[in-house]
Amino acid sequence: MRQINQTQVTEFLLLGLSDGPYTQQLLLILFLGLWSLVTLLGNLLLMSLVPVDSRLHTPMYFFLCNLSLADLCFSTNIVPQTLVHLLSRKKFISFTRCTAQLLFFLIFGCTRCALLAVMSYDRYVAICNPLHYPSIMTWKVCVQLATGSWTSGILVSVVDTTFTLRLPYRGNNNIAHFFCEAPALLILASTDTHTSEMAIFLMGVVILLIPIFLILVSYGHIIVTVVKRKSTVGSLKAFSTCGSHLMVVILFYGSAIITYMTPKSSEQQEKLVSVFYAMVTPMLNPLIYSLRNKDVKGALRKLTTRNFPCRLGISH
């Protein structure tokens, strides 16, 4: 028995969100609907509209395209497997697939953290320094900021994944989660995890606390600038855009900080918090920036009116 317990783990059993069959069916319908109709179609719509409409060729929509790509890959890395496991009795995942899922989850999640900070800087320049905006936010600068966001996401994810999976995993292979996430994996390690936890905490400071500090500073300046202005219409528009962005920031960063930078809580609470930043926040991007955005709706209307009559065979 001792020899079996010391066997190197080759696969993990994901315990999932719930054991109840009715709860699993409800979660299946809910996640499938939200992911396919909102996250998948919404982000694909935004990514397809921006390149073809010249009115959307601005830094803000360039960053939104990058955010949509990160959101799409972020959720696709988790949701399809979760849906399959909700239909399965045995929810096994190989060590290799678990490694890949953890790595890509962190790449796209950390990139998203950096992009949200970049977008707050873009809004700060646009609202607080509108006359200098074209000279500051050039396309070269935008590309550099986007590239830096993706690079930082990759670097942080490699460090977190390395310090998580370099540990020996023997015996217990039951992950009390619905996907492979670093905190849930560290609990199963067969050795002291203090060094790995410290490394992940430091990476959290880099990719979570520093960006959210920059975001709060940017929006602090934005609020002061908007309040000083006399234009009520402009102020309401600015507050609407920034308020939506801040809502995404609070939900995403707040839930991620709870998971990665606070003392361990109950398993059910950790799962619930993970649902917010793994499934809920990726769908907020198309809801906030697509369905509520006048420019995006105008681009969609222009695209449909250009192509739809031809498909109907309307003659003049």
pLDDT of residue 171: 83
pLDDT digits (tens, 9 = 90+) for 121-138: 998 999 899 999 999 999
Write the CB contacts of 227 (distance below 8 Å, at least 6 apart in sequence): 235
Model-level pTM?
0.88
Q: How far, in Å, CA of 50 to CA of 66, rounded?
A: 11
Tokens for 57? 């060729």
Q: How far, in Å, CA of 173 to CA of 13, rounded?
A: 6
**55, 134 contact by CB (below 8 A):** no
Q: Span 10-301: which CATH code?
A: 1.20.1070.10
The contacts found for 28-37 with CB under 8 angstroms, 24 or more apart, are: 28/83, 28/86, 28/87, 31/79, 31/82, 31/83, 31/86, 31/279, 32/83, 34/279, 34/283, 35/75, 35/79, 35/83, 35/279, 35/283
Helix 79-87, helix 59-76: angle, nearest 10: 30
Given a cut of 70, the residues of the chain with pLDDT beneath it are: 1-6, 230-241, 265, 289-292, 303, 306-316
pLDDT of residue 25: 86
Within 10 angstroms of residue 230's Cβ, the number of other Cβ atoms is 6
Domain ranges of the chain: 10-301
- Going by the DSSP 8-state scheme, the letter that residue 9 receives in this structure is P
